[in-house]
A and B are shown apart, each in its own frame.
Chain A
């Protein structure tokens, strides 16, 4: 076999022409009959690869991404070699004004739209913007919970209206929100209320998805009783997984009263949603209209929501 430079160059030349649509495999082989036997299988593989990787972004994503890029450009001064630091509050005010003046109507109109609607991208962008503008860990967590509520409501609507093509995207986003809450807790200072309350979960066995059974009285046990959908191969999330959430953290041990108020408010929100969100996800999991691949993601979201809410409940009870 000739794996020398000449062959590499010939193969590359044929490949370039194939990819550019200037030549067919047959035409290339005719030009290089000496190498035809060796070239043909490689060029056929190139054609297959070219066909397979022809993936395009969805129109919804294209619109959303463009909108966010425009927002980013509007938020910041044109890029320069020497940049001046702009205070975060100024960016927040400018962005809020921009959205209000230029896109206020669209944002308002988008608030209640469902996936598939042309304004849905605006709704998502607006939510993301609010998340970015949320200053504290508590505010960000509140926004994540609000976004989770929206996604659950949308999934419920999609299932009831037989419009399930966007279910997977909604389920993935939902799962990401809970991951976001856990990461926020992990990143926060252990001395602040919420971070202290939640930090225990990041060092628990759950963080590494190790299935563990415990009988220690101070640990909360969150059984996941939903059987996995048929054909779903999420080995780490087996039907018998039992998660443990150590309930040892004591919130606001050294925080000031403002921190304490924030944390108390947030724990109230977490508690009121604890009874709702996991059971709503469970209902979606029970629906025969939800495809298995979506159920696998929902199962992860359910586990994560249980971690988040159970931890909050435990810590509230230890106040």
Chain B
């Protein structure tokens, strides 16, 4: 934590090496968070890049006292997605089965299984409230701690824990109902 603070401090003063380290540390998490929310690999790749470009452009004015760096970065990603969804709502819908990411470095059978499971989970998350969905995305895809998720969503840690509990419970019910309903 202290190490990240030091990196952020250096990056704010224009140290590109420090920013590069922050980039490497958060790149996968941001991509995962974005791709699972918008479910389109090509768009998610573009958006992930935009998040870091924006972070680089604005890190000089970022105030660590206000919000932790991770929370700040995820807020940028969240805002990018809100813009994206607004634009996408004016376009034709993308078929669900072509939008989920395909992993490059694993075998096809595993990919397909993962994709099917991911599809089920994604569909189940649609039953959640907006806040529950955000907590799940931040905690699982983004890998944020309760504290970081709380700062990102501007809620108390207790509220995040309660949302997390109710979200998992709801997901469990939806997934079970799906399994029972198929056959």
Contacts and interface: CB of A to CB of B under 8 A. Distances in A.
Contacts of A296: 95, 98
B48 A57 contact: yes
Contacts of A80: 14, 60
Contacts of A57: 27-28, 31, 45, 48
B169 to A, nearest CB: 6
Identify which of A61, A77, A81 gathers the most chain B CB atoms within 10 Å of its CB: A61
B59 interface: yes
Contact of B92 (A61, A81, A168, A300): A300
A169 B41 contact: yes
Interface string B27-43: 11001100110001111
Interface residues of B, number: 62
Interface string A57-99: 1111110110011001100111111010000000000000000
Given A8-B165, A61-B45, A68-B49, A55 B16 contact: no
A51 interface: yes
Contacts of B91: 179, 209
A68 B45 CA distance: 12
A291 B38 CA distance: 22
A41 B56 contact: no
B36 A8 contact: no
B32 A45 contact: no
Q: Which of A52, A59, A60 has the most CB of B within 10 A?
A: A52
B158 A59 contact: no
Secondary structure call for the A interface: helix
B168 A45 contact: yes
A233 B99 CA distance: 13
A258 interface: no
Contacts of B43: 172
A60 to B, nearest CB: 7
A49 B15 CA distance: 37
B65 interface: no
B105 interface: yes
A65 B98 contact: no
B48 to A, nearest CB: 7
Contact of A59 (B35, B60, B105): B105
Interface of A: 3, 5, 7-9, 11-12, 15-16, 41-42, 44-46, 48-62, 64-65, 68-69, 72-73, 76-81, 83, 168-169, 172-173, 176, 179, 207-209, 232-237, 293-294, 296-297, 300
Interface of B: 11-16, 19-20, 23, 27-28, 31-32, 35-36, 40-43, 45, 48-49, 52-53, 56-61, 90-93, 95, 97-98, 101-105, 114, 117-118, 121, 136, 140-141, 145-146, 158, 161-162, 164-166, 168-169, 171-172, 175
25 contacts: A42-B172, A45-B172, A51-B117, A52-B114, A52-B118, A52-B121, A53-B36, A53-B141, A55-B35, A56-B103, A57-B45, A58-B105, A65-B49, A69-B52, A73-B19, A73-B56, A78-B14, A79-B12, A79-B14, A169-B42, A232-B95, A234-B95, A293-B97, A296-B95, A296-B98
Given A52-B117, A173-B42, 10 more contacts: A8-B158, A64-B45, A69-B20, A69-B52, A78-B16, A80-B14, A169-B42, A172-B41, A294-B98, A297-B98
